[in-house]
Amino acid sequence: MLRDPNVILLGEEIGVFNGVYKVTRGLLDEFGPERVRDTPISEAAIAGAAVGLALAGLKPVAEIMYMDFLPICMDQLATQAAKMRFMSGGQLKVPMVLRTQYSLGRQHGSQHSQFTPAWFLQVPGIKIVLPSNPYDAKGLLKSSIRDPNPVLFIESGLLYRTKGPVPEEEYTIPLGQAEVKRKGEDITIVGISRQVGEALSAAIKLEQSGISAEVIDVRTLQPLDLKTIVESVKRTSRLVIASDDVKTGGVGAEISASVSENAFGYLDAPIARIACPDTPIPFSPPLEQSYMPNADKIVETVKAIMGK
Amino acid sequence: MLQSMLLLRRFEEKVEELFMVKGALIGPSHLYLGQEAVAVGAMSALAPDDLTVTTYRGHGHALAKRVPAKLCMAELFGKETGNCKGLGGSMHVAIYPKTGSLYATAIVGSGIPIAAGVGLGLKQKKSKNIVATFFGDGACNTGAFHEGTNLIAVWKLPVLLFCENNQYAMSTPVKRAVSSPSIAERGRAYGMETIVVDGNDVISVYVAAKIAAERARSRSEPTFLECVTYKMKGHGVYDKAEYRPKEEVEKWLARDPIIVFKKKLLDGKTMTQSEIDAVEDKVKQEIEESVEFAMQGSFLPFNTIQSYVYAEE
């Protein structure tokens, strides 16, 4: 915002209230009410206004409080923003960011916890970014704001209290580059968002059992850095994908299919997906804990694949 | 204004012929026949670099906002020489930012929140320009209409909302779909200045739009304009609109905006019949040339379409 006066924020409770999870804390005081705009509870209008702002040459960063509210503005995102450049034959550009978070693991119940990135994989024209740690959150957000396309920036609410090094100085992380978080020989674990941390914890536990796991953070699902994943699988010959969405038709299915298309001959075991069961999210804290994918479930799955 | 109205009329007549008689055009196409006074009156009141956000019934808006007819026609043919390179088609023909024809959506009601954003952007940049958005009576029952209209009002954005009440949302008459006594009441309910205007009288539309544009430009205040008009044909080019009472159709056809305006020009001695005929000839020639241009164009190579999905810079 300091660098580019065209960057403007809008969303519910982002100003005076500092954001429902304080993500935008202090920004209203620093940049004023014209650049940090509290909106009515009107998700379609928030997303639509972001689209219009982008068309008018600004760089909107809109916030939708919970990922569960995205369907309310799905038209603006999926049918308007994502298709404008294409339908206009390249005349229009929509440089907007729509930030949201999912609160799985915070006892928010079925309608405030969903993680549904796969819906947007069916929408060419939009980029999907998912930071798994504070360092990436800064670098990826900067790249998203500077990107000339609509970007859906999905945060994990459960990770908001994660601490990690974030340099004060300027840096960006390109969209479309996965990161190998840990080198390994026996199996590749692809993590998405919060599951990257779980995969890293699992890898440490697996090491104690003599299994060397490679952990990859996709960082973006659209574009997906398939090359990094496929190269890893070609070395390890095994793949597990961990994500917080529902298993059927989820992001794991897409990555699995793409790896099968590109590295089937290298696989020594079926690809495994670790995801949520096909039910809405239960409120009851112990039920929710059982529902969520975690490091232990990853360990268990990997051991079964490795026959250990 | 007459030339522009005639261009819209003859263009749509040609489009209908190309669909129905010659089979040269296919796909959905929503004709603007009968509503010419709205687009022409409104656009005449805007500055050339003011912006518009319109709809899938947008051939008229495009032409009135000076999108060249030949580009529109080529777009309808799906040719690379169309303004959207054939990737948009009839429902997006009013996308041509070069003349301020910023966007056209095919989802009913969705343009209103977008116009709010464009208006906010213009206000934020302290631009002298304003944005006009066009939608039908059907759009007034969508959530996007209410959310967008409220935002425009609460943030005092330089937006003109043109509701083209053409009496039918597809085949559903306004009376069976809109609970309030008039659509204009809805603008008022959001605390907006509201004008009800005879949408078949180009001068009335122009005057109302001029007042609204001035208010938006100088005070950043929006206006809701309900333009009462009539869709001369059905929802799309294939819809024979047999659900409409014959007397109703006849009543409105007698108030054809072009007949009304021609009479005004002749009665007021603003134009002579031979001057009007000359304009007709000019328009006819422009339409013929646009069809010629469209037929000559080639299609975008399929292997290039991927490059239109994401912007690089």
Nearest by CB: B117 against A42, A56, A124: A56
Residue B196's Cα: distance from chain center in Å? 17
Name the residue range of residue B18's domain.
2-297
What lies within 8 Å, CB to CB, of B76 at 6+ separation is B15, B18, B25, B29, B59, B82, B89, B90, B93, B294
Number of domains in chain B: 1
Establish if A167 belongs to a structural domain: no
Check whether B37 has a pLDDT greater than 90.
Answer: yes
The model's pLDDT over A67-101, given as tens digits with 9 standing for 90+, comes to 999 999 999 999 999 999 999 999 999 999 999 99
- With beta carbons under 8 A apart, name residues in chain B contacting A59: none
Annotated catalytic residues of A are 43, 112
Interface predicted TM-score (ipTM) of this complex, two decimals: 0.95
- Residues A222, A150, single domain; the answer is no
Establish if A166 belongs to a structural domain: no
Among B268, B247, B266, which Cα is nearest to B258's? B266
The model's pLDDT over B274-300, given as tens digits with 9 standing for 90+, comes to 999 999 999 999 999 999 999 999 999
Mutation target vs A (from B310, B312, B313; most A CBs, 10 A cutoff): B310
Q: In this structure, which amino acid lies at residue B72?
A: C
Nearest by CB: A148 against B97, B305, B311: B311
Rounded Cα distance, B196 and B32, in Å: 20
Percent with pLDDT over 90 in chain B:
89
In eight-state DSSP terms, residue A88 is T
Residue A129's Cα: distance from chain center in Å? 5
Check whether B69 has a pLDDT greater than 80.
Answer: yes
> Does the beta carbon of B161 lie under 8 angstroms from any beta carbon of chain A?
no
Q: For residue B229, with 0-12 CB atoms within 10 Å meaning exposed, 13-18 middle and 19 or more buried, which class applies?
A: buried
Q: What's the pLDDT band for B21 if we cut at 50, 70, 90?
A: confident
Residue A69 phi, psi (nearest 5): -90, -5
Nearest by CB: A89 against B83, B102, B103: B83
- Residues A98, A225, single domain; the answer is no
CA distance A53 to chain B (A): 5
- With beta carbons under 8 A apart, name residues in chain B contacting A52: 53, 113-121
> What is the structure's pLDDT at A308?
84
Mutation target vs B (from A86, A92, A152; most B CBs, 10 A cutoff): A86
- Residues A107, A218, single domain; the answer is no
Q: What CATH number should be reported for the domain holding residue B197?
A: 3.40.50.970
Name the residue range of residue A302's domain.
179-306
Q: What CATH number should be reported for the domain holding residue A50?
A: 3.40.50.970
pTM (2 d.p.):
0.96
- Residues A76, A155, single domain; the answer is yes
Number of domains in chain A: 2
B87 with A87: Cβ contact below 8 A:
yes
Q: For residue A99, with 0-12 CB atoms within 10 Å meaning exposed, 13-18 middle and 19 or more buried, which class applies?
A: buried
Average pLDDT over residues B212-230: 97
- Residues A144, A218, single domain; the answer is no
Within a 10 A sphere around the Cβ of A145, how many other Cβ atoms?
21
Closest residue in A to B143 (Cα) is: A44
- With beta carbons under 8 A apart, name residues in chain A contacting B77: none
